[in-house]
């Protein structure tokens, strides 16, 4: 089984994805285990080496009888990286995992290329509240906290409509060793990284939940403001935002890793998409489309602006020049003549030459069929003639 022994604890971990891929380490929140990150692991394991582990005192990881601190939790991560022979990784931690990330950013920054701090704060709660929780769990067991924790972790609407989807989290929380949970509560209680976060030199993204009662959006904004150059986004979620908004959480994480400013709110995504759409297709075409909005097509136009243009054409994985050529080839293959004409006209905006278009159309003659390419050549001639005539 994948375990390492460190500082009196036996730590369980999992690794998914290609051995030579960039590494991302996920750190769970208080009361969960590595499985809380399943949506992100499933989405990322094809292109990242995804390392998840159970924080000491959680899941299959043990905790020593002696008290431990957030510094101990941070050193656990460094020990895990050493055991896996990983020099540098991206780190993503939520709540208590976020506190671990802050410690790592301040005291072991050389091991991390980027750090994501989700639903967390450098000082969480009050000593009185944590002591009450510790006393409760040691007296009454984990079952006494289960439903109250679910209500804090998610918005009421999400809980009401989730059915059995949250049963895995309930089972993990109910199955924890109360002593390990209490030890983690004490570590969070005693952590105060308000000054340390001001020294973090690693690029940081702070993710907050708009309805998080445990570490509020206000605390998230304050954390981002305290860390030099940190980015901030807010998801419509409560405390476990990666489970309540898994798609948007993962998209924000990927944007940050890939050097893009994360966009998660729909108005901002629409505006970003509209700007790219104008760049690629030309403002005149986009303005005509907007003028032809009707109750029937308005939501569709909004959809393609947000996702085709705001999500895909903004990605840095391919330059717009390449995306333009690929789109032309696909429109030939699918026999979408109107869309083909549109992208033939737009190609010059992306730096595509007519000779390059010719090469793509010749390629389609082999792989899509001569009739399709023949029709495409005729369309290209018509479009280019119109462009030349308009130029005078």
CB within 8 A of 110, min separation 6: which ones? Answer: 88
CA distance 320 to 300: 23
The partner residues of 114 in beta bridges, in order of sequence, read 90
Average pLDDT over all residues of the chain: 92
Residues 10/79, Cβ–Cβ less than 8 Å: no
Mean pLDDT of 61-69: 88
* Residue 220 near residue 208, CB atoms below 8 Å: yes
pLDDT tens per residue, range 196-225 = 999 999 999 999 999 999 999 999 999 999
The mean pLDDT of 187-203, rounded to a whole number, is 98
Residues 6+ apart with CB under 8 A from 308: 273
Three-state secondary structure readout of 304-355 = HHHHHHHHHCCCCCCCHHHHHHHHHHHHHHHCCHHHHHHHHHHHHHHCCCHH
Q: E strands of 183-327, at which residues?
A: 204-209, 231-235
Q: Hey, what CATH topology would domain 3-257 get?
A: Rossmann fold (3.40.50)
Per-residue pLDDT at 313: 86
Q: How far, CA to CA in Å, does 288 sit from each of 174, 233, 278, 301, 383?
A: 58, 33, 11, 12, 18
pLDDT value at residue 262: 77
Whether 390 has a pLDDT exceeding 70, the answer reads yes
Over the stretch 240-255, which tens digit does the pLDDT of each residue have? Answer: 999 998 888 988 898 8
Averaged pLDDT, 347-351: 89
CB neighbour class for 185 (10 Å; exposed up to 12, middle 13-18, buried from 19): buried
How confident is the model at residue 13, as a pLDDT?
A: 98
The structural domains of the chain, with segments of one domain joined by +, span: 3-257, 266-391
**Can you name the CATH fold of 266-391?**
AhpD-like (1.20.1290)
Provide the pLDDT for residue 293: 80
Judged against a pLDDT cut of 90, whether residue 56 lies above it is answered with yes
Residues 41-63, mean pLDDT to the nearest whole number: 94
Summarize the confidence of residues 50-75 as an average pLDDT.
94
pLDDT in tens, 298-341: 888 888 888 888 878 877 678 888 999 999 999 999 999 999 99
**pLDDT of 117 strictly over 90:** yes
pLDDT at 269 over 80: no
> How far is Cα 186 from Cα 188, in angstroms, rounded to an integer?
5
96 three-state secondary structure = helix
The answer to whether residue 268 scores a pLDDT higher than 80 is no
Percentage of residues of the chain with pLDDT beyond 70: 98
> CATH topology of 3-257 equal to that of 266-391?
no
pLDDT the model gives residue 266: 65
> pTM surpassing 0.85?
no
User: Quick check: 283 pLDDT over 80?
Assistant: yes
At residue 218, the pLDDT reads 97
Residue 247 CB partners (closer than 8 Å, separation 6+):
none
């Amino acid at each position: 089984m994948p375990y390492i022994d460190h500082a009196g604890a036996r730590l369980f971990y999992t690794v998914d994805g290609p051995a030579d891929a960039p590494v991302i380490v996920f750190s769970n929140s208080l009361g969960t285990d590595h499985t809380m990150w399943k949506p992100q692991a499933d989405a990322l394991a094809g292109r990242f080496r995804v390392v998840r582990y159970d924080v000491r005192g959680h899941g299959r990881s043990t905790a020593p009888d002696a008290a431990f601190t957030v510094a101990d939790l941070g050193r656990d991560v460094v020990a895990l990286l050493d055991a896996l022979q990983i020099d540098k990784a991206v780190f993503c931690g939520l709540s208590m995992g976020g506190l671990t990330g802050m410690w790592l950013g301040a005291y072991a920054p050389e091991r991390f290329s980027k750090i994501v701090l989700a639903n967390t704060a450098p000082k969480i709660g009050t000593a009185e509240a944590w002591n009450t929780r510790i006393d409760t769990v040691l007296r009454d067991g984990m079952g006494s906290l289960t439903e109250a924790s679910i209500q804090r972790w998610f918005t009421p609407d999400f809980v009401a409509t989730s059915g059995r989807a949250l049963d895995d989290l309930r089972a993990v929380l109910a199955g924890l060793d109360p002593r390990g949970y209490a030890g983690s509560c004490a570590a969070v209680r005693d952590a105060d990284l308000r000054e340390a976060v001001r020294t973090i030199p690693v690029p940081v993204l702070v993710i907050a939940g708009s309805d998080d009662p445990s570490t509020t959006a206000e605390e998230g904004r304050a954390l981002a403001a305290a860390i030099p150059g940190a980015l901030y986004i807010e998801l419509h979620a409560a405390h476990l935002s990666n489970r309540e908004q898994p798609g948007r959480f993962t998209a924000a994480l990927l944007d940050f890793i890939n050097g893009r400013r994360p966009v998660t709110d729909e108005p901002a995504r629409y505006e970003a998409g509209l700007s790219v759409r104008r760049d690629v297709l030309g403002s005149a075409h986009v303005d005509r489309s907007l003028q032809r909005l009707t109750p029937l097509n308005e939501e569709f136009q909004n959809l393609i602006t947000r996702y085709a243009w705001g999500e895909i054409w903004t990605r840095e994985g391919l330059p717009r020049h390449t995306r333009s050529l690929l789109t032309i080839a696909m429109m030939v293959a699918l026999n979408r003549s109107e869309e083909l004409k549109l992208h033939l006209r737009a190609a010059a905006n992306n730096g595509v030459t007519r000779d390059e278009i010719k090469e793509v159309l010749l390629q389609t003659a082999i792989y899509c069929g001569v009739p399709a390419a023949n029709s495409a050549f005729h369309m290209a001639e018509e479009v280019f003639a119109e462009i030349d005539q308009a130029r005078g």
